[in-house]
Amino acid sequence: MRVPSLILHEAVARLGRAGIGAVLVAALALGVALAGVLPQWQAVRELRASEADASAQVRRVERGELKLAARPEQQALDDLRQQLPGQPQASELIERLYHLASAEQISLARGEYALGVDPKTQLARYQITLPVRGSYPQIRGFLKALLGQLPTLVLEDLELQRKRIGDRELNGRVRMTLYLSRS
């Protein structure tokens, strides 16, 4: 059914400029509502639905029906703690350190040892500072064997010096940290 154009012209003439402006403003408001408000309204509905789901899961956790999964970082840290040697094994590991030094014919003088706890990871941290004496190849072989056989040992600092240019023997200091599980 087609509206004759004469009837349409008469209706527009009856409305006048103010009426036409009101119709255009109403059409614009309807367009803004459909384009802007409706998507936001749907987003609010989705958020309320996810809030209801989260509340239901919290109630299930409180009743003990559902267990929380550990965070990936915490799980990785727990796995690391299980793989580390325990704190009671520290003396065996230090003994192995001295055995590796004697295998490379390096003399280790009396060192400094400090046991502490890492505040972030709660791992036992055994800080060791040892004076070393030997040739460069001996010291290098010792450090390579040390890091190969004690993977929880971290070499933090190495200072080497010669008294004279022609000396084969080096004097130095090795600072390292041995990480251990506190169990």
> What pLDDT, in 10s, does the model give residues 87-128?
777 778 888 888 888 888 887 778 888 888 887 777 888 898
Tokens of 87: 């704190």
How far, in Å, are 24, 27, 29, 167 from residue 39 at the CA level? Answer: 23, 18, 15, 80
Look at residue 2 and tell me whether its pLDDT is greater than 70: no
Q: Is 173 helix (H, G, I), strand (E, B) or coil?
A: strand
The span from the CA of 106 to the CA of 102, in Å, is 6
Overall residue count recorded for the chain in this entry: 183
The span from the CA of 117 to the CA of 174, in Å, is 21
Whole-prediction pTM: 0.54
173 close to 157: Cβ distance less than 8 angstroms: yes
- Span 120-172, pLDDT tens digits: 777 888 898 989 888 889 989 988 988 888 888 889 999 999 888 888 888 88
Which residues have a Cβ under 8 Å from the Cβ of 31 and sit 6 or more positions away? none
160 close to 136: Cβ distance less than 8 angstroms: yes
pLDDT for the residue numbered 3 = 62
